[in-house]
Amino acid sequence: MAEDARWVRLDGAVNVRDLGGLPTADGGTTALGRAYRADDLQALTQADVRRLVDQLHVRTVVDLRTSIEVKREGPGPLTHEPAVVHRHCSLFPEGGRMTDVDADTLLPWHTGDTAPPDTAEALHPSIRYYLGYLRDRPDSVVEALRALAEPDRNGAAIVHCAAGKDRTGVVVALALAAAGVTRAAIVEDYVATGDVLDAILDKLRRSATYAADLDNRPADTHRPRAWTMQRFLATLDEQHGGPLGWLDEAGFGANDVATLRARLRG
């Protein structure tokens, strides 16, 4: 794992980091201790729970998993904390067998750091998948962002799915865009999940919910690539005038953006 102060090291979750300390286009930075991103939280130890609740002051959990995942894996020990409010915001239509690793399952195997050649003429399947979250569940995306922005809660929020890579990556990218974070920093934060990819896959393969979807593929085929997030954001630019344009169309208007921006900027 990279030695970065934004990483939160826990025993029961391996992809937890602070969304603070990221540069903004106007020369500022996002505030530390306001919002975190994570992989699933079912395996948190009691020490992990106390770290999150008592030391990091987590007061809102935004769970992007499907109801099927929550039922199979459990909601996690933070649900037993009276100070913590949970928001369930599935990014998939509630039906079928859809998990965080399905975005990878549908991909042609591609391990290069440059985009595959067909992206010049058609969107790569991973990007279409990310856009599918916005098409199928704009209500959940908006609800998740409003939960991250909750002005009446003094503590921090944490948003997670299973791996903390695809669904979480999309919601976090939109949140950071609303906060005015530079495009390069949004992409870098997305790619940072690759630093702990082996640990994420080891954890998911121990679960019957996710093991079959991983299909014993080489770890590197699941690695987040900069070009994926770059092209996803560029598509929003082309089709909606940017991430903020899509948010406005989805009902997350200027007042919502200002509230989220103030929350993440301090």
pLDDT tens string for the chain (266 positions)? 445 789 999 999 999 999 999 999 999 999 999 999 999 999 999 999 999 999 999 999 999 999 999 999 999 999 999 999 999 999 986 544 555 555 554 444 455 566 655 544 356 777 888 999 999 999 999 999 999 998 777 899 999 999 999 999 999 999 999 999 999 999 999 999 999 999 999 999 999 888 877 766 677 778 899 999 999 999 999 999 999 999 999 999 999 999 999 999 98
Round to whole Å and give the CA distance between 182 and 13. 27
CA neighbours within 13 Å on the CB side: how many for 60? 26
The DSSP secondary-structure symbol of 108 reads: P
Q: Which of 6, 8, 10, 13 is nearest to 200 (CA)?
A: 13
Structural domains in the chain, CATH included, are 17-96+121-265 (3.90.190.10)
Question: Distance of CA 176 to CAs 73, 96, 141, 150, 196, Å?
Answer: 29, 31, 13, 15, 21
To 5 degrees, how large is the angle CA 21–CA 22–CA 27? 105
| Type of residue found at 36 | Y
What is the predicted pLDDT for the residue at 101?
56
Nearest 10 degrees: Cα torsion 50, 61, 265, 194 = 90
What is the predicted pLDDT for the residue at 214?
77
Strands (E), 94-208: 156-160
| Type of residue found at 215 | D
What is the predicted pLDDT for the residue at 122?
55
What is the predicted pLDDT for the residue at 125?
73
Question: What phi and psi values does residue 89 have, to the nearest 5 degrees?
Answer: -135, 70
Q: Under DSSP, is residue 157 helix (H, G, I), strand (E, B) or coil?
A: strand
